[in-house]
């Protein structure tokens, strides 16, 4: 047999042996080459996770291999949610892996801090280069007049391991929070920092992060914050800061009443609690004082000293201010139908 043929066969055998070691030995207790040499607790946990994975390097989780995913998940249990195939099995065996039961409820989600679609913000120049957000940022901070907004080249869509980001008008990303697992890959890859990872419990945020003055924003973008300060004046809890000359929601003070979102003239404030609830007045308890009608920010309560006060459900935004201010506790909240 010719020498080159022998080298070829030898190489084939070695490749097959290496592949067999990687794919099968870990599930029998050895792990990939070098994985168990350290002998640490983290390696043991990674090995246990790896043995529960049913798929072979599908890479849908965003990691190069199943074992890379297992190593990361043993340190950060929340990442288990990234595995579409075996997450439930791993969670079921969590106590055996970590020695305790971690909290796998994912309270984080990605959110987009830009509301300017393809026609809302002016262009500085027409970009014909590589379709990459990182690429266009190298040229004068992007091709849009606003250097703080999304350029719509979809790097975030490409890296999302669970398909939680879709496109609006083939430009602006829309994040499906029901699918999002809060892994942060989209936020890490975005060169303009328009995607941020937030606690799902924070339901109110301003979908614009400009630092420009209102006059300039008004000139270059039809859906950017113009710092009119209507939200600041409307917030009864003083939860909107203006330290940076533009409004920012202070999550420590915000109660998600939704008043700022209802009052924003450009509708760029999102409040996921807006219209979730409405209020109802218990006539038997009402003393006709009229406080609720006076303080209602959406004029959703009608009546006077002679006519019983009633809630106009079409106007009620469910902020709940009247509930806390009613001296007779005659107003209750209920879920909106």
Take residue 35 and report the two structure tokens written for it: 């994985």
Q: How many CB atoms lie within 10 A of CB 65?
A: 16
Q: What is the pLDDT of residue 35?
A: 45
Q: Give the C-alpha distances (Å, rounded to integers) separating 283 from 180, 296, 308.
A: 44, 18, 7
Residue 104's pLDDT band (cuts 50, 70, 90): low
Same domain, yes or no, for 195 and 214? Answer: no
Q: What is the pLDDT of residue 98?
A: 84
Q: How many CB atoms lie within 10 A of CB 202?
A: 16
pLDDT tens-digit profile of 212-233? 988 999 999 999 999 999 999 9
Mean pLDDT calculated for residue range 333-337: 78
- Mean pLDDT over all residues of the chain? 82
Where among 236, 254, 272 does a domain terminate?
Answer: 272
Mean pLDDT calculated for residue range 69-95: 81
Number of domains in the chain: 4
Overall size of the chain counted in residues? 337
Same domain, yes or no, for 168 and 189? Answer: yes
Give dist(CA 113, CA 217) in Å, integer: 15
Q: Provide CB contacts within 8 A for 324, sequence distance 6+.
A: none
Residue 337's pLDDT band (cuts 50, 70, 90): low
State which residues form the domain around 251. Answer: 202-272
The mean-pLDDT minimum among 11-25, 105-119, 204-218, 296-310 falls in 11-25
Same domain, yes or no, for 143 and 227? Answer: no
| Domain CATH for 147 | 3.30.70.20
Same domain, yes or no, for 42 and 126? Answer: no
CA nearest to 142, candidates 161, 160, 157, 155: 155
- pLDDT exceeds cutoff 70 at 28: no
Q: What is the pLDDT of residue 307?
A: 82
Same domain, yes or no, for 214 and 153? Answer: no
Same domain, yes or no, for 110 and 87? Answer: no
Q: Which residue has the tokens 């992007």?
A: 142
Mean pLDDT calculated for residue range 163-182: 85
Where among 46, 65, 98 does a domain terminate?
Answer: 98
Same domain, yes or no, for 160 and 113? Answer: yes
pTM exceeding 0.75:
no
Same domain, yes or no, for 283 and 266? Answer: no
Same domain, yes or no, for 210 and 234? Answer: yes
Same domain, yes or no, for 54 and 127? Answer: no
**Burial class for 227, CB neighbours closer than 10 Å (0-12, 13-18, 19+):** buried
Q: What is the pLDDT of residue 66?
A: 86
Give dist(CA 186, CA 166) in Å, integer: 12
In this structure, what is the dihedral angle of CA atoms 212, 218, 219, 224, given to the nearest 10 degrees?
A: 70
Asked if 270 contacts 205 with a C-beta cutoff of 8 angstroms, the reply is yes
Same domain, yes or no, for 173 and 147? Answer: yes
Mean pLDDT calculated for residue range 251-258: 89
What is the percent of the chain where pLDDT is above 70?
86
Give dist(CA 218, CA 207) in Å, integer: 15
Take residue 20 and report the two structure tokens written for it: 């067999």
Residue 23's pLDDT band (cuts 50, 70, 90): very low
Q: What is the pLDDT of residue 146?
A: 92
Same domain, yes or no, for 17 and 72? Answer: yes
Q: Give the C-alpha distances (Å, rounded to integers) separating 198 from 70, 107, 116, 258.
A: 25, 8, 20, 18
Where among 272, 306, 327 does a domain terminate?
Answer: 272
For residue 189, the 8-state DSSP code is H
């Amino acid at each position: 047999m010719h020498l080159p043929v022998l080298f070829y066969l030898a190489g084939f055998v070695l490749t097959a042996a290496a592949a067999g070691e990687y794919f099968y030995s870990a599930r029998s207790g050895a792990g990939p080459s070098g994985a168990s040499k350290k002998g640490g607790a983290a390696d043991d946990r990674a090995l246990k996770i790896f043995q529960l994975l049913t798929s072979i390097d599908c890479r849908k989780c965003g990691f190069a291999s199943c074992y890379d995913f297992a190593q990361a998940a043993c340190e950060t249990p929340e990442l288990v949610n990234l595995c579409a195939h075996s997450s439930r099995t791993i969670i079921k065996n969590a106590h055996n892996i970590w020695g305790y039961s971690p909290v796998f409820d994912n309270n984080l989600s990605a959110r987009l801090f830009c509301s300017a679609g393809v026609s809302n913000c002016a262009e500085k120049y027409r970009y014909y280069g590589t379709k990459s957000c990182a690429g266009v940022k190298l040229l004068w901070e992007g091709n849009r007049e606003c250097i703080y907004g999304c350029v719509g080249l979809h790097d975030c869509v490409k890296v999302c391991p669970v398909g939680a980001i879709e496109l609006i008008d083939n430009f602006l990303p829309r994040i499906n929070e029901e699918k999002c697992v809060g892994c942060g890959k989209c936020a890490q890859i975005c060169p303009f920092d328009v995607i941020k990872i937030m606690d799902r419990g924070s339901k109110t945020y301003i979908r614009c992060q400009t630092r420009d003055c209102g006059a300039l924003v008004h000139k270059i973008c039809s859906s950017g914050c113009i710092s009119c300060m209507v939200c600041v004046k409307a917030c009864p809890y003083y939860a909107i800061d203006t330290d940076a000359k533009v409004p920012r929601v202070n999550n420590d003070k915000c109660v998600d009443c939704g008043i700022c979102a209802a009052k924003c003239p450009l509708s760029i404030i999102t409040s996921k609690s807006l219209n979730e609830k409405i209020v109802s007045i218990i006539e038997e308890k009402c003393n006709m004082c009229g406080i609720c009608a006076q303080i209602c920010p959406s004029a959703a309560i009608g009546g006077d000293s002679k006519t019983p006060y009633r809630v106009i459900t079409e106007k009620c935004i469910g902020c709940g201010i009247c509930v806390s201010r009613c001296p007779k506790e005659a107003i209750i909240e209920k879920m909106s139908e």
